[in-house]
């Protein structure tokens, strides 16, 4: 009905049906048919037509005077909203695991802030999805398979998890040669790796953790840092210990054994279209992760 009211206003402004049809690039019979349908819905005649002139009726003037400013304001707001949705500016609220957001993904945040000065990131480093469901967050990064049909998702890659220790710790306590040897060492575990299985790459043989951990935390960065200090053997995703492996602060333990890889996804509510600012963040994450060794299985 709004479109037909817009047509009615255009007819009055043009002064005739033929002139309005020319401005709107619409066949005159189509314009006449839609005007008649509008009059039928409203239950009154809007235009008085004769061989010489076309003029609004009393009711037509009332609709014209009330609708024209409202339609103009609606067009202005729509144009403004379209501009906002297509500009990379405003707030993007993102949920992400602490260890990943605070280490591997730091270059992504820096790049987004550098390239989009009108963008504001609000990062909540948490594994909870409550804010996403309630509409308080735009996007979330999650590790593991995502089975919720109410969420859309894009796969960023997968995380490998390995055993690491400092050279000093291994020099003092010896390097384990098989999973059962871990029982004689202090294990540094972080959720969700308090109960997991090791798998041998060449044979597929599996082994459970042989002992309770010497330390259990809810932050993987803490267990990695403790391993660097020589406190024990840590279970660490490659995404947060690759630099320490490269510069020798950590070395792999039981290199032929590892924990099953886990996928990493960006997820957002199915019901929500992504404005440009959120799409920019998602695209930056996808581009960054495309060739990242730490996210390749």
Question: What is the SS3 assignment for 227-281?
Answer: HHCCCCEEEEEHHHHHHHHHHCCCEEECCCEEEEEEEEEEEEECCCCCCHHHHHH
In this predicted structure, what is the pLDDT of residue 206? 86
In this predicted structure, what is the pLDDT of residue 81? 60
In this predicted structure, what is the pLDDT of residue 291? 75
Query: Whole-angstrom Cα distance, residue 169 to residue 293?
Result: 27
Query: Whole-angstrom Cα distance, residue 54 to residue 68?
Result: 18
pLDDT digits (tens, 9 = 90+) for 68-120: 787 777 777 665 565 555 678 889 999 988 878 888 889 999 999 999 999 99
CA dihedral 181, 183, 185, 186 (to 10 degrees): 150
pLDDT band at 43 (very low <50, low <70, confident <90, very high): confident
Mean pLDDT of 112-132: 82
In this predicted structure, what is the pLDDT of residue 82? 56
In this predicted structure, what is the pLDDT of residue 131? 65
pLDDT digits (tens, 9 = 90+) for 231-248: 999 988 888 888 899 999
Contact present, 189 and 259 (Cβ < 8 Å): no
Longest dimension (CA), the chain: 106
Query: Whole-angstrom Cα distance, residue 235 to residue 233?
Result: 7
What secondary structure letter does DSSP report for 179?
A: G
User: Where is pLDDT greater, at 14 or 231?
Assistant: 231
CB count in 10 Å sphere of residue 67: 17
Query: Whole-angstrom Cα distance, residue 94 to residue 141?
Result: 8
pLDDT band at 253 (very low <50, low <70, confident <90, very high): very high
% of the chain surpassing 90 pLDDT: 26
Contact present, 182 and 214 (Cβ < 8 Å): no
User: Where is pLDDT greater, at 272 or 201?
Assistant: 201
In this predicted structure, what is the pLDDT of residue 99? 79
Contact present, 196 and 259 (Cβ < 8 Å): yes
Name residue, tokens 């404005």: 275
Mean pLDDT of 63-67: 79
Average pLDDT, the chain: 83
- For residue 64, is pLDDT > 80? no
In this predicted structure, what is the pLDDT of residue 116? 92
In this predicted structure, what is the pLDDT of residue 17? 76
Contact present, 82 and 75 (Cβ < 8 Å): no
């Amino acid at each position: 009905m709004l479109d037909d009211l817009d047509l009615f206003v255009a007819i009055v402004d043009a002064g005739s049906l033929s002139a309005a049809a020319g401005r709107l690039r619409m066949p005159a019979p189509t314009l006449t048919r839609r005007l008649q349908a509008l009059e039928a819905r409203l239950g009154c005649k809007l235009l008085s037509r004769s061989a010489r002139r076309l003029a609004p009726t009393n009711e037509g003037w009332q609709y014209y005077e009330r609708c024209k400013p409202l339609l103009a304001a609606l067009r202005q707001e729509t144009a403004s909203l379209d501009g906002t949705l297509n500009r990379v500016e405003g707030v993007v609220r993102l949920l992400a695991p602490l260890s990943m957001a605070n280490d591997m993904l730091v270059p992504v945040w820096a790049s987004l802030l550098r390239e989009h000065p009108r963008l504001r990131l609000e990062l909540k480093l948490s594994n909870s999805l409550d804010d996403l469901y309630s509409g308080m967050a735009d996007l979330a990064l999650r590790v593991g398979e995502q089975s919720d049909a109410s969420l859309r998702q894009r796969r960023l890659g997968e995380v490998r998890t390995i055993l690491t220790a400092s050279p000093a710790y291994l020099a003092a306590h010896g390097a384990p040669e098989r999973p059962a040897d871990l029982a004689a060492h202090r294990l540094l575990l972080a959720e969700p790796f308090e109960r997991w299985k090791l798998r041998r790459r060449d044979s597929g043989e599996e082994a459970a953790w042989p002992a309770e951990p010497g330390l259990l935390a809810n932050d993987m960065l803490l267990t990695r840092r403790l391993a660097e200090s020589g406190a024990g053997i840590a279970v660490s995703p490659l995404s947060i210990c690759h630099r320490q492996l490269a510069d020798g602060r950590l070395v792999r333990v039981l290199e032929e054994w590892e924990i099953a890889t886990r996928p990493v996804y960006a997820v957002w509510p199915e019901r929500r279209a992504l404005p440009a600012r959120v799409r920019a963040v998602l695209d930056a994450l996808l581009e960054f992760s495309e060739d990242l060794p730490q996210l390749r299985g």
